[in-house]
Structure 1
Amino acid sequence: MKWTAVVVAALAAIASTGAQAQKKYAPGITDTEIKIGQTFAYSGPASAYRAIPMSEAAYFKMINEQGGINGRKINLISLDDGYSPPKTFEQTRKLVEQEEVALIFNPLGTPTGLVVRKYLNDKKIPQLFVGGGATLWGDYKQFPWSMGFQPSYQAETAVYAKYVLKNNPDAKIALFYQYDDAGKDYANGFKMGLGADNAKRMVIAEASYEPADPSIDSQIVKLKASGADTLFMHAIPKQAAQAIRKVYEIGWKPKMFFLAATSTSVSSVLQPAGFDAATGIISAYYQKDPTDPQWTSDPATAEWTAFMKKYYPEGNLQDQLNVYGYTVAQALVQVLKNCGDDLTRENIMKQAASMDFPLPMLLPGIKVKTTATDYFPVEGQQLQRFNGKTWELFGEIIGE
């Protein structure tokens, strides 16, 4: 009996050691916690986007109340960078070197994300689901630790270009965009979608702005004076609302007015601009709009609404940004679940690069899918037109 007890104890010790050995953790991760970092524009010109991290934090609170991820609670440390690249670098270094987070999650912006991309890749720290659609966020060869989330800007503008070529082939096009890598990506993507010859013939005017510009009136007046009858605009919410309003006030009535998906929020952009001014604008999107009556009886939308009322009651139920935050948080939770007990940075990135699952607030037919050579998690999108009250989807899912 004595020897039997010794053998049983020895086997138990070996099993326990084996179980412990199977657990692999990155800095910031323990048996009880997954610490992640984020920089976001809680202040500054892009502060309208702050609804995103607020809804993400609310979602993680819900997950933690449900027991976390395999018993580990998510600890999101989200710092304000004011949409200023130098501040982003300072705050990211603080998250990595002082807070020792496991990864950087959904930081806002292409210019702000770019300033820390090399730093994070050199340290082999995931820069996961960057809140920007610049094509460069899919550069898995040069920067394998950085990944976007939404459809690329070039893929989005290709949808608009195709629509113009089909419905207004003699269009005179004006492009308005933010003067940074994101805006240039949008402008170049639109031209690529038209084709080189068509772009030379059809794009007759361009204007840009800086995020800190107090007004964009002069640029809009200049574009109207060009004689353009088709307008594409990329801008963060503040300038987008200003520009839509100015187009309306000066009596410019483009045959087609395209608005980048980054500023389609009804409450943050279209309402401040004025619904009359925004009526008829076309955009493309990939998520369900809670203001769209077609989702009134949709179980996923009902679940999102219940989540908002319980965990983020001060959040605006008409703001698509809250849907985005909810969805990208769900994607991260699924990635971390798929890691099991191997929560090294390498495996987190490996799981992020092998996603293939639907998420409830994506439009039907669209899912999250990546591979080791495809770093664009969401690629499907559908055209939509603002009818003065809400966005109405039309056409088919494109790009899925």
Structure 2
Amino acid sequence: MRTPAKTSRTAAALAVAAALGLAGCTAPEGEEEAAATPGVTDDTVTIGTHQPLTGPAAAGYSAVSAATSAYFAYVNDHGGVNGRAIEYLVKDDGYEPQRTNEVVTELVEDDQVLAVVNGLGTPTHSVVLDYLAEEGVPDLFIASGSRVWNQPALYPNAFGYNAEYTTEGAALAQYAMEREPGATVCVLGQNDDYGEGLLEGVEAVMGSNEITEIQTYTTASQDLTDQIGTLKAAGCEVNILATINGYTALAVGTAAQMDWAPKWYVSSSGADYPTLVGHLGEEAAAQLLEGMVCVNFLPFGSGSEWTALFEQINDEYNEGAPFTANTVLGMSVGYLFAEALAKAGDEPTRESLIAAVESGAVLGNGIVPLAFSETNHGGYGTVGIMTVEDGVQDYSGTTYEVEVGHVSAVEAAPVPLANGGIPTG
């Protein structure tokens, strides 16, 4: 969205530039490239993001950008990428679209970032999608599973990161049908693209007539009594949730107050066990979350070299913050940007950065390689099933690839750790 302030600032900048040109002034060596490529100097690359550091999504999600910052600090201490340190500007939008618009405008027009990386949230990022496209700013690895981001013809600069909500819904439904045949399946979701996308994935696998009850909620309300009461009355045995962490805990806690213990199948956005423990308390979480099923697409568990590296970085550069799935998410997306920057060349530009991602050489560090191309700007299309057993959340060994609602069991093919987790060109 363009604003009058932006228009006036742009006009003023053009007038100043024209005046300098007529005066015959020349920029010192090195500054012309910096002016031609926002956010790039001889020594640094500056990028930015919008994140919910406060507000209803802050619990858990505020850890994402802190982890990304920690990973970049690690990279910078080891020489940066192609000799440049990464400067990462984090703006708090409180999970409010209006504030997202304000802070992203600041990042682009005042801070002159090279790219916006991992902007978090479907309702929040949606309001800046067109603006970033108009400005030609690389809009990389959006922290949301909406399919809207994967439209290269409309948004050639935008790339998703998370598995699409339809992918997660389809995978969860497939697993429910295999492990709970004949169970009464219901859906609870956020009343936006998040909930709608997950529901669409469930319907693609089960058929809409096989879903017994569908309930939605808004993040403006902190009460799920009506929704959970309706699901209980419908006899739901498996509830598939499109909820952020706080509302997953609220749903599970509300059901417990009603003396109801169905099975919970949860999207990756709302299933981080340590975060849920923070909401529910250790004793309640151990009881209420036992057997919880969810999906993930990133390294996890004590057997992963990536997890071991990220735990080390977390201890050294993140002040020993709690190590959660959101820590892994933040560091993984940091690695992915560093990988793209390394492939963008010694003199990166916005154009070369986008070309690097589309080249197919940027793989990420997930349970399967990413598959970006000129025609595919979507994130992970393959997800693994995770379960909670005896208070431990880990992969179950079941991995699904989802294509247009068709779900196939595949073998995970994790991207190996190399060069200490610091990408090279």
- The aligned counterpart of 2:342 is 337
Deviations 1:252-294 (A, max 9, x none): 232x4211111121221245232211111111112233xx4x5
Among 316, 333, 354, which residue is 1:310 paired with? 316
2:164 maps to 1:155: no
SS in 2 for 1:369: coil
Q: Is 1:192 the equivalent of 2:204?
A: yes
Q: 1:349-390: per-residue Cα shift (whole Å, max 9, x none)?
A: 111122345555x33xx1222111111232221111111411
Partner of 1:396: 398
Letter in 2 for 1:164: A
Partner of residue 280, structure 1: 291
Distance (whole Å) between structure 2 residues aligned to residue 356 and residue 193 of structure 1: 32
Among residues 372, 385, 388, which one is paired with 1:386 in the alignment? 388
Question: Does the 8 A contact of 1:276 with 1:388 survive in 2?
Answer: no
- Of 237, 249, 267, the match for 1:229: 237
Q: Which runs of 5+ in 2 are unaligned?
A: 1-29, 402-409, 411-425
**CA distance, structure 1, for counterparts of residue 103 and residue 33 of structure 2:** 33
- State the partner residue of 2:259: 251
2:357 paired residue number:
352
The residue correspondences of 1:123-202 to structure 2 (distance < 5 A) are 123-194=135-206, 198-200=207-209, 202=210
1:258 maps to amino acid: Y
What is the one-letter code of the residue matched to 2:39? G
CA gap 1:100/1:350 in 2 versus in 1, 3 angstroms: same
- Relative distance call for 1:243 and 1:20 in structure 2 (3 A) is closer
Q: Measure how far apart 1:64 and its partner are.
A: 1.4
Q: Unaligned regions of 5+ residues in structure 1, if any?
A: 1-18
Structure 2 contact 166–200 (Cα < 8 Å) conserved:
yes
Indicate the SS of the match to 2:127.
Answer: helix
1:312 is displaced (CA, Å) by: 0.9
Q: How far off is 1:112 after superposition? A: 0.6
Q: TM-score, normalised by structure 2?
A: 0.82
- Match in the other structure for 1:13: none
Aligned with 1:257: secondary structure?
A: strand
Tell me what 1:38 maps to.
49
Change (3 A) 1:135 1:215: same
In 2, Cα distance between equivalents of 1:207 and 1:314: 39
* Residues 356 and 248 of structure 1, relative CA distance in 2, 3 Å threshold: farther
Q: Deviations over 1:311-334 (max 9, x none)?
A: 1123112x1100111111000001
CA contact (8 A) 1:174 1:204 kept: yes
Partner of 1:6: none
C-alpha separation between the residues in 1 aligned to 2:117 and 2:54? 19
How far 1:22 moved relative to its partner?
Answer: 10
What is the identity, as a one-letter code, of the residue corresponding to 1:398? Answer: Y
Deviation at 1:142, TM superposition (A): 1.5
Tell me how far apart the structure 2 counterparts of residues 36 and 23 of structure 1 sit (CA, whole Å).
14
Partner-residue secondary structure (3-state), 1:174:
strand
In structure 2, give the amino acid aligned to 1:373. T
Aligned 8 A contact 1:382 1:397 in 2: yes
Of stretches 372-381 and 118-127 in structure 1, the one that deviates more from structure 2 is 372-381
2: CA distance, partners of 1:288 / 1:70: 26
203, 216, 219: which one aligns with 1:211: 219
Provide the C-alpha distance between the structure 1 equivalents of 2:176 and 2:349, rounded to a whole number of angstroms: 47
Q: Percent same amino acid among aligned pairs?
A: 25
Q: How many corresponding residue pairs? A: 369
RMSD (Å) for aligned C-alpha atoms? 2.2
Determine the C-alpha separation between the residues in 2 that align with 1:278 and 1:107.
29
* Contact preservation (8 Å) 1:22, 1:341: no
376 and 151 in structure 1: CA distance in 2 versus 1, 3 angstrom threshold: same
Rounded Cα–Cα distance in structure 1 between residues aligned with 2:78 and 2:244: 35
Which amino acid in structure 2 is aligned with residue 131 of structure 1? A
Q: Is the 8 A contact 2:38 2:112 kept in 1?
A: yes
Q: Give SS of 1:368's match.
A: coil
Give the superposition deviation at 1:41: 0.3
Indicate the SS of the match to 1:118: helix
Give the superposition deviation at 1:25.
5.3
Moved more, 119-128 or 324-333: 119-128
Deviation at 1:35, TM superposition (A): 1.1
1:75 to 87, 95, 101: 87
Residue number among 322, 326, 332 corresponding to 1:327 in the alignment: 332
Q: What residue number does 2:26 align with? A: none
